A and B are shown apart, each in its own frame.
Chain A
Amino acid sequence: MAAHLDRDVTPGGCSWGEDTIVAISTAMGAGAIGIVRLSGPDAVAIAESVFLAARGTSVKPDETYSLLYGHAIDPESREPVDEVLLAVMRRPRSYTREDVVEMHCHGGVAAQRAVLRLMLRSGARLAEPGEFTRRAFLNGRIDLTQAESVAAIVAAKSSGALRASVRQLDGSLSERLRMMRRDLLGLLAQIEATVDFSDEDVDELDRLALAKGLAEVQAEVLKLLRTAFLGRALEQGVRTAIIGKPNVGKSSLLNALLMRERAIVSDVPGTTRDTVEELLEIGGVPIHLVDTAGIRSGGDHVERLGVARSVKAMEQADLVLAVIDLSTAWDEAEGRLLGDLDPARSIVVGNKCDLMQGDRESLTERVRARASGGGAGPPGRRVCAVSALTGAGLDELRSQIQQVITGGEDFQLEEPVLAGERHRVLVGEAHESIGAALDGAYQGAGEELVSEDIRAAASALGRLTGEDLTPDLIDEIFSRFCVGK
Chain B
Amino acid sequence: MRAKTQQEWTYDVIVVGGGHAGCEAALASARMGCRTAMVALHLDNIALMPCNPAIGGVGKGQLTREVDALGGEQGRNADRAFIQIRMLNTSKGPAVQALRAQADKRLYEDWMKVAMSRTPGLELVQGEAATLDVSRETINGVTLADGRYLRCRSLVLATGTFLRAKVVIGDRSYAAGRVGELPAQHLSASLLAAGLEVERFQSATPPRIDGATIDPGRMVLQQGDTVPWSFSHWQTPSPRRQLPCYLTYTTAATHEVVSKHLHLSPLKSGSVSGKGPRYCPSIDRKVINFPDKQRHPVFVEPEGITTREMYLQGLTTSLPVFVQEMIIHATPGLERARLVRPGYAVEYDYLPPQQLTLSLQSKAVSGLFSAGQINGTSGYEEAAAQGLMAGINAALHARNEPPFVLRRDQAYIGVLIDDLVTEGVDEPYRMFTSRAEYRLLLRHDNAAERLSSLGHALGLISDEQLATVEEKQRKVAEYTELLESMMVRSGQVNAEVLEALGTPPLGGSQPAARVLRRPQISFANLVELVSGADRDRLASAPPEVIEQLEIQARYDGYIRRQMAEIRRHRATETLLIPADFDYRSVEGLTFEAKDKLARIRPDTLGQASRVSGVSPADISVLLIHLHRLLRTREEPAPGSGDQALRQAQCT
Which residues of A approach B to under 8 Å, CB–CB?
A: 1-9, 11-14, 16-19, 125, 128, 130, 134, 137-140, 144, 147-148, 150-152, 154-156, 158-159, 161-162, 192, 194-201, 443-449, 451-452, 455-456, 466, 468-471, 473-474, 477-478, 482-485
Q: Which of B424-445 contact A (CB under 8 A)?
A: 432-435, 437, 439-440
Q: Are B646 and A474 in contact (CB under 8 A)?
A: no
A124 to chain B, nearest CB (A): 12
Q: Given known contacts A151-B624, A477-B434, what 8 new A-B pairs fall within 8 Å (CB)?
A: A1-B457, A5-B405, A5-B604, A11-B640, A147-B627, A147-B631, A161-B617, A474-B434
Chain B residues, Cβ within 8 Å of A5 = 403, 405, 407, 574, 576, 604, 646
Chain B residues, Cβ within 8 Å of A138 = 623-624, 627
A192 to chain B, nearest CB (A): 4
Chain A residues, Cβ within 8 Å of B432 = 192, 196, 474
Chain A residues, Cβ within 8 Å of B114 = none
B527 interfacial contact with A, CB 8 Å: no
Q: Which of B597-651 contact A (CB under 8 A)?
A: 604, 610, 612, 615-617, 620-621, 623-625, 627-628, 631-632, 638-643, 646
Chain B residues, Cβ within 8 Å of A158 = 616-617, 620-621
B17 interfacial contact with A, CB 8 Å: no
Q: Are A196 and B433 in contact (CB under 8 A)?
A: yes
28 contacts between A and B (CB under 8 A): A3-B454, A5-B403, A5-B407, A5-B646, A7-B574, A11-B640, A13-B641, A137-B627, A138-B623, A144-B632, A147-B627, A148-B628, A151-B624, A152-B587, A155-B620, A155-B624, A159-B617, A162-B617, A197-B58, A198-B58, A198-B88, A447-B92, A448-B439, A452-B558, A469-B437, A470-B434, A482-B289, A484-B277
B439 to chain A, nearest CB (A): 7
Chain A residues, Cβ within 8 Å of B297 = 200-201
| Contact segment of B93-101, B168-176, B187-195 | B93-101
- Please, how many angstroms separate the alpha-carbon atoms of A197 and B281 in the complex? 14
Chain A residues, Cβ within 8 Å of B519 = 443-445
B588 interfacial contact with A, CB 8 Å: yes
Q: Which of B237-280 contact A (CB under 8 A)?
A: 277-280
Which residues of B approach A to under 8 Å, CB–CB?
A: 52, 57-59, 88-89, 92-93, 95-96, 100, 277-281, 286, 289-290, 293, 296-297, 299, 313-314, 316, 396, 401-405, 407, 423, 432-435, 437, 439-440, 454, 457-458, 519, 554-555, 558, 561, 564, 567-568, 570-571, 574, 576, 587-588, 604, 610, 612, 615-617, 620-621, 623-625, 627-628, 631-632, 638-643, 646
Nearest-CB residue, chain A, relative to B568: A19
Chain B residues, Cβ within 8 Å of A134 = 620, 623-624
- Please, how many angstroms separate the alpha-carbon atoms of A409 and B366 in the complex? 63
Chain A residues, Cβ within 8 Å of B646 = 4-6
Q: Are A468 and B612 in contact (CB under 8 A)?
A: yes
Chain A residues, Cβ within 8 Å of B641 = 13
Given the known A-B contacts A4-B402, A9-B574, A158-B620, are A484 and B279 also in contact in the complex, defined by CB atoms under 8 Å?
yes
Partner of B92, one of A7, A140, A195, A468: A195
B553 to chain A, nearest CB (A): 13
Q: Are A195 and B617 in contact (CB under 8 A)?
A: no
- Please, how many angstroms separate the alpha-carbon atoms of A144 and B630 in the complex? 11
Q: Are B290 and A446 in contact (CB under 8 A)?
A: no
Q: Are B588 and A152 in contact (CB under 8 A)?
A: yes
- Please, how many angstroms separate the alpha-carbon atoms of A112 and B402 in the complex? 50
- Please, how many angstroms separate the alpha-carbon atoms of A14 and B641 in the complex? 11
Chain A residues, Cβ within 8 Å of B568 = 18-19, 125
- Please, how many angstroms separate the alpha-carbon atoms of A232 and B643 in the complex? 45
Q: Are A4 and B404 in contact (CB under 8 A)?
A: yes
- Please, how many angstroms separate the alpha-carbon atoms of A482 and B280 in the complex? 10
5 closest Cβ pairs, A-B complex: A155-B588, A446-B93, A484-B279, A158-B617, A140-B638
Given the known A-B contacts A1-B402, A445-B519, are A195 and B96 also in contact in the complex, defined by CB atoms under 8 Å?
yes
- Please, how many angstroms separate the alpha-carbon atoms of A280 and B624 in the complex? 44
Chain B residues, Cβ within 8 Å of A198 = 58, 88-89, 92
Partner of B567, one of A19, A194, A196: A19
Q: Are A11 and B88 in contact (CB under 8 A)?
A: no
Nearest-CB residue, chain A, relative to B403: A4
Chain A residues, Cβ within 8 Å of B571 = 9, 16-18
How many A-B pairs fall under 8 Å by CB?
189
Given the known A-B contacts A1-B457, A485-B314, are A478 and B574 also in contact in the complex, defined by CB atoms under 8 Å?
no
Chain A residues, Cβ within 8 Å of B435 = 470, 474
Partner of A151, one of B280, B434, B588, B638: B588
- Please, how many angstroms separate the alpha-carbon atoms of A128 and B623 in the complex? 14
A272 to chain B, nearest CB (A): 49
Q: Are A196 and B604 in contact (CB under 8 A)?
A: no
Chain A residues, Cβ within 8 Å of B574 = 5-9
Chain A residues, Cβ within 8 Å of B277 = 484
Chain A residues, Cβ within 8 Å of B588 = 151-152, 155-156, 159
Partner of A449, one of B88, B280, B558: B558
Nearest-CB residue, chain B, relative to A459: B437
- Please, how many angstroms separate the alpha-carbon atoms of A7 and B450 in the complex? 14
B260 to chain A, nearest CB (A): 20
- Please, how many angstroms separate the alpha-carbon atoms of A200 and B52 in the complex? 14
Partner of A195, one of B89, B564, B610, B638: B89
Q: Are A11 and B643 in contact (CB under 8 A)?
A: yes
Nearest-CB residue, chain B, relative to A471: B423
Chain A residues, Cβ within 8 Å of B396 = 1
Chain A residues, Cβ within 8 Å of B59 = 196
Q: Are A151 and B278 in contact (CB under 8 A)?
A: no
Chain B residues, Cβ within 8 Å of A484 = 277-281
A385 to chain B, nearest CB (A): 48
Chain B residues, Cβ within 8 Å of A478 = 278-279
B212 to chain A, nearest CB (A): 24
B199 to chain A, nearest CB (A): 19
B618 to chain A, nearest CB (A): 9
Chain B residues, Cβ within 8 Å of A468 = 610, 612
A8 to chain B, nearest CB (A): 7
B292 to chain A, nearest CB (A): 10
- Please, how many angstroms separate the alpha-carbon atoms of A99 and B638 in the complex? 18
Partner of B570, one of A18, A452, A466: A18
Nearest-CB residue, chain B, relative to A6: B646
Nearest-CB residue, chain B, relative to A144: B631
- Please, how many angstroms separate the alpha-carbon atoms of A2 and B458 in the complex? 9
Q: Are A192 and B434 in contact (CB under 8 A)?
A: yes
Q: Are A199 and B88 in contact (CB under 8 A)?
A: yes
Chain B residues, Cβ within 8 Å of A4 = 402-405, 646
Chain B residues, Cβ within 8 Å of A199 = 57-58, 88, 100
Chain B residues, Cβ within 8 Å of A161 = 617
Given the known A-B contacts A5-B646, A154-B621, A445-B519, are A485 and B280 also in contact in the complex, defined by CB atoms under 8 Å?
yes
A41 to chain B, nearest CB (A): 10
Chain B residues, Cβ within 8 Å of A17 = 571
Chain B residues, Cβ within 8 Å of A16 = 571
Chain A residues, Cβ within 8 Å of B313 = 485
Chain A residues, Cβ within 8 Å of B612 = 468
- Please, how many angstroms separate the alpha-carbon atoms of A275 and B567 in the complex? 48
Chain A residues, Cβ within 8 Å of B439 = 448
Nearest-CB residue, chain A, relative to B519: A445
- Please, how many angstroms separate the alpha-carbon atoms of A315 and B616 in the complex? 38
Given the known A-B contacts A5-B646, A198-B88, are A151 and B631 also in contact in the complex, defined by CB atoms under 8 Å?
no
Q: Are B434 and A473 in contact (CB under 8 A)?
A: yes
Chain B residues, Cβ within 8 Å of A471 = 423
Given the known A-B contacts A158-B620, A201-B296, are A151 and B625 also in contact in the complex, defined by CB atoms under 8 Å?
yes
Nearest-CB residue, chain B, relative to A469: B437
- Please, how many angstroms separate the alpha-carbon atoms of A443 and B555 in the complex? 15
A129 to chain B, nearest CB (A): 9
- Please, how many angstroms separate the alpha-carbon atoms of A138 and B435 in the complex? 32
Q: Are B639 and A137 in contact (CB under 8 A)?
A: no
- Please, how many angstroms separate the alpha-carbon atoms of A109 and B206 in the complex? 68
Chain A residues, Cβ within 8 Å of B52 = 485
A15 to chain B, nearest CB (A): 9
- Please, how many angstroms separate the alpha-carbon atoms of A158 and B403 in the complex? 34
